Amino acid sequence: MEIASTASIPSPANVIQATTDSCARRKSMNANPILANSAAIAKTLLAAINADASLEHRAVIASTTSMNVSAILVVMEPLVSTESTDTLATVCQDSPGNIARLTLTNVPAILAQTECRNGAKCTPSSNFLDFACTCELGYTGRLCDEDIDECAISSPCRNGATCQNTNGSYVCLCAKGYEGRDCLTNTDDCATFPCKNGGTCLDGIGEYTCLCVDGFGGKHCEADMDECASSPCRNGATCRDYVNSYTCTCPLGFSSTNCQTNDEDCTTSSCMNNGTCVDGINTYTCLCPPGYTGSNCQFRINECDSNPCLNGATCSDRLGSYLCHCPYGFTGTRCESFVDWCSMGQPGQGPCFNGATCKQVNQTYQCTCAPGWTGILCDVEMVSCKDAALRKGSAVSELCRHGGKCEDIGNSHRCVCAEGYTGSYCQHEINECDSAPCQNGATCKDLIGSHSCTCPPGFQGPNCEYNINDCYSNPCQNGGVCHDLVNAFSCSCPHGTLGILCEINVNECFEGACHHGGACIDKIGAFECQCPPGFVGPRCEGDVNECLSDPCSATGTLNCVQLVNNYSCHCKPGYMGRHCELKINFCEISPCNNGGMIPVHLSARH
């Protein structure tokens, strides 16, 4: 007799036993025995089989105390094995190998009467005299009614998790950074893409680390590193921050990446007349040799400008010095002393003649003549013009030289000299060049009563006092400064120029002058870089951070990643487009068949 696989026969009283008569009768008919009398099934089921009915109409007759269970005798055949757990054996004493099989059709009602707990599977023994409960995980005991404390037995929770026992199971309270039933899985802390600006996320235990690309910092690489914070620019330069770089705008006079180099302002033409050039900051100083002055030693010092000569003397400029032409009666370097007239010539006479006595009077002298003599030098005999001429053996008209005229004055005479002559008898020609009227090295020619100056090249004027301005035509090129010289000029050339006229522009461009493919353009004393798109700075060293202008859509963007001359918008799930500005309509691609619908779940994971 066959029942459901989980039917329970808890005691020997429940075995269906065929009667002796039934066995004998079936044996005489050379047929298998059948069930004829009452039998208890699952404690409360009473059943009987009508032996006289045909095989097709035989059925279990339930008593009034039985459950509402129906059974049909489906086959009468010998069975040699009773290992199947769903078979009830009925054995005749004289036919030990014959078994009748009865199939119950209302199995759930019978199962409800089993005694195995907590969902365990009940299996009868082979002779149906006992049963066994196959427990679900988490339970033990004959009836599976004892809860197993998995936490105490095997410590299933890993990685520092806390184990909590539950009915038939356990729960692991995972430590930070782990997940899963037994906390074996390291939580992917990088799943939400926390690192910004192209940073690389390294997953840890309950944490993550962002490896930032150059130029960014912060826990999430969210901060554009300020390369200017360390004050790399020197000498008062202005620092401008870029992505992973910076530029220094140098003040005048400084150059190089950090403006640490003081530009060499001295050139070969900076200082003239053998002046020594001393470099400064955006300037230079010329140490001039004696006789020159000016910012470039371009001017010859006129030593006479300080009026060093005294007592009305005439000053002549010399290179680094001067010469004083003293007026009558003065002497010394600066004409500061009187001429000691009386010490000249005969003692006591000086320049005086004919026994006269000399006396110093300020810058001149006075001769006290002996009797019979007169004149400044006592060289005129006190006689008439006629007698004087007679004594000298000359005509009266020739007594006074160089066209002078003799005049009688009392008992004496005197000569009135023509212009340009002097002396008692006009015997001395006055040299107008003695006062050095010609300046700047001009040649003086004495004339009668005047003089003539022959000027050297570069000077003009009656006394050659004017220096011709040779810079009048602006001969210096490329911003060179012209310095007027004597009959010449000199050009002080700016940086990057050479030549007498500063006409040669030196090419300041060199290999590597401009970074990132910038084009170098030579300028006067400098160069200029034309930067490709995405780069700025004097030498194209600054990478423009296009992300600073917030080009990505705020709604659909996780973060903006700075690239070289470009940027990339990393979109949130569900968004697309260059700037993550387009929201994806998943339903437009019709993923569901047969009219089905699927909800769209957006998360931070790609």
> What would the pLDDT profile of 406-453 be if each residue is shown by its tens digit?
999 999 999 999 988 999 999 998 888 888 888 888 999 988 888 999
404 vs 325, residue with greater confidence:
404
Q: Is 320 helix (H, G, I), strand (E, B) or coil?
A: coil
Q: What is the pLDDT of residue 168?
A: 85
Q: Is 189 helix (H, G, I), strand (E, B) or coil?
A: coil
pLDDT tens per residue, range 195-249: 988 889 999 998 999 999 888 889 999 888 888 999 999 999 999 888 778 888 8
Highest mean pLDDT (candidates 126-135, 345-354, 410-419): 410-419
**Percent of the chain's residues with pLDDT above 70:** 77
**Percent of the chain's residues with pLDDT above 90:** 32
Give the span between the Cα atoms of 519 and 539, in whole angstroms: 9
Q: Among 138-147, 383-392, 401-410, 455-464, which is the least confidently predicted range?
A: 138-147
pLDDT tens per residue, range 311-331: 988 888 888 889 898 888 899
13 vs 371, residue with greater confidence:
371
Structural domains of the chain sorted by starting position, each given as residue range(s) with its CATH number in brackets: 12-124 (no CATH), 149-186 (2.10.25.10), 306-335 (2.10.25.10), 341-433 (2.10.25.10), 541-606 (2.10.25.10)
CA 169 to chain centre: 60
Q: What is the pLDDT of residue 516?
A: 87
Would the pTM of this model clear 0.75, i.e. be above it?
no
Q: What is the pLDDT of residue 550?
A: 86
Q: What is the pLDDT of residue 501?
A: 92
| pLDDT tops 60 at residue 46 | no
Spatial neighbors of 408 by CB under 8 A, at least 6 apart, are 384, 385
Contact, 478 vs 524, CB < 8 A? yes
Q: Is 446 helix (H, G, I), strand (E, B) or coil?
A: strand
Q: Is 356 helix (H, G, I), strand (E, B) or coil?
A: coil
Give the span between the Cα atoms of 67 and 51, in whole angstroms: 22
Q: What is the pLDDT of residue 591?
A: 62
| pLDDT tops 80 at residue 605 | no
pLDDT tens per residue, range 61-83: 333 333 334 443 333 333 333 33
List of E strands, 167-203: 169-173, 178-179, 185-186, 200-203
Spell out a b/e string for 336-362, using b for 16 or more CB atoms within 10 Å of the CB, else e: eebbebbeeeeeebbbbbbebebebee
Give the span between the Cα atoms of 154 and 138, in whole angstroms: 12
Kindly indicate the confidence band of residue 127, based on its pLDDT and cuts at 50, 70 and 90.
low
Going by the DSSP 8-state scheme, the letter that residue 432 receives in this structure is: G
